[in-house]
Amino acid sequence: MPVYDRDSVPERVGRGTLDPELAAWLPTGPVLGADESVAEARRSHHVLGEFPLPVIGSVEHLVLDGPHGSLPVRVHIPSEPAGSPCGALVYIHGGGFTVGTLDEFELPMRLLAETAGVKTYAVDYRRAPEFKFPTQIDENEHVVRWLFDHADEQGVDPAKIALGGDSAGGNMTCVVALRLRDENGPRLALQVPLFPEAAFPADTLAASENRSGLYLESNGIFQMVRNLVKNTDDVRQPYVTPLNAESHADLPPTILVTNGFDPLRDVGHAYARKLAAAGNELTYVHHPDLTHGFPQFSQVSSACHAATLELGRMIGQHIG
């Protein structure tokens, strides 16, 4: 598992050997971006919420008064918080803006909270296509600002609030961090975009060589984007494709993760290089043997489990 800082990000990253446990499980699991209806895709992903769960300190359920109505947030509290008040990670789940539930991300949330020793706040934002851009951005930014405003009553250190997410959630992590910077909003202690959709990957090598059979289908991304945006939306604007921001300076310290067998590998790597070139503090992690979505697969692959725990330790080093 190569780990780089801002001065050592390589010019390119690629594939190694696919983890054999993942290779054996993938044909039996759900597919993100499959040629199926939205309803079918959502049903097929329910299996990811049926894995056995590790014990943590406790789980709380909040309902915030969000910008588009009631906004559920699930809070995971570690059995041994690293500090008092403790750090917190607001988490935006992936799923192509279209699928994904808090139950389906319960396993990685518990692993990250317990390993990092911080609270995680998983956001049940409204999904596309029923709700179009920028509904999801508005809701996730609202939770971040709410937590800063209510840090004392939540037992959270406002100097240790991070934002993270995977895939579409990684995209929204980058976007919300950009918006907070542009709006002179509260300062995040850390952003954690995991294999983010920093731009549309259609013409990248990663999207070509990882186009099918590795959980995320490359061509399915076209439909995900179509679900998210309206015909009048400019998909090159940076709050849709954050790689296109005019400046990537003055962003929070970042842990950014990519995977060798992932259509989003190259756009995530490109975003890491943008952050590094702009002088931001960066930890860039590349897993040459893993696929998109690996934290959700921690019960079927020891390599995925180890990678998720290592991510939790890195988060804990920053905000624990």
* Whether the Cβ atoms of residue 113 and residue 78 lie closer than 8 Å to each other: yes
Q: Quick one: tokens of 291?
A: 């696929």
61 is catalytic: no
By CB neighbour count within 10 A (0-12 exposed, 13-18 middle, 19+ buried), where does 261 fall?
A: buried
Q: How far is CA 10 from CA 58, 195, 244, 269, 285, in A?
A: 40, 16, 21, 9, 11
| DSSP secondary structure string for all residues of 128-195 | TTTS-TTHHHHHHHHHHHHHHHTHHHHTEEEEEEEEEEETHHHHHHHHHHHHHHHTT-PPPSEEEEES
Name every residue whose Cβ is closer than 8 Å to that of residue 312 and which is 6 or more positions away in sequence: 111, 112, 113, 114, 115, 116
262 is catalytic: yes
* Whether the Cβ atoms of residue 34 and residue 217 lie closer than 8 Å to each other: yes
- Backbone torsion region of residue 262, taken as left when φ is above 0, otherwise alpha when ψ lies between -120 and 50, otherwise beta: beta
Among 45, 76, 287, 292, the one annotated catalytic: 292
Helix (H), strand (E) counts: the chain: 10, 9
8 is catalytic: no
Among 76, 157, 167, 286, the one annotated catalytic: 167
CA pair distance 153, 115, nearest whole angstrom: 23
What's the N-to-C CA distance of the chain in angstroms?
22
Among 138, 262, 266, 289, the one annotated catalytic: 262
- Calculate the dihedral angle through the C-alpha atoms of 286, 52, 75, 187, rounding to the nearest 10 degrees: 0
Cα angle: 154, vertex 250, 188; to 5 degrees: 5
Q: Which helix (H) or strand (E) holds 6?
A: none
Q: Quick one: tokens of 309?
A: 């725990």
Catalytic residues: 167, 262, 292
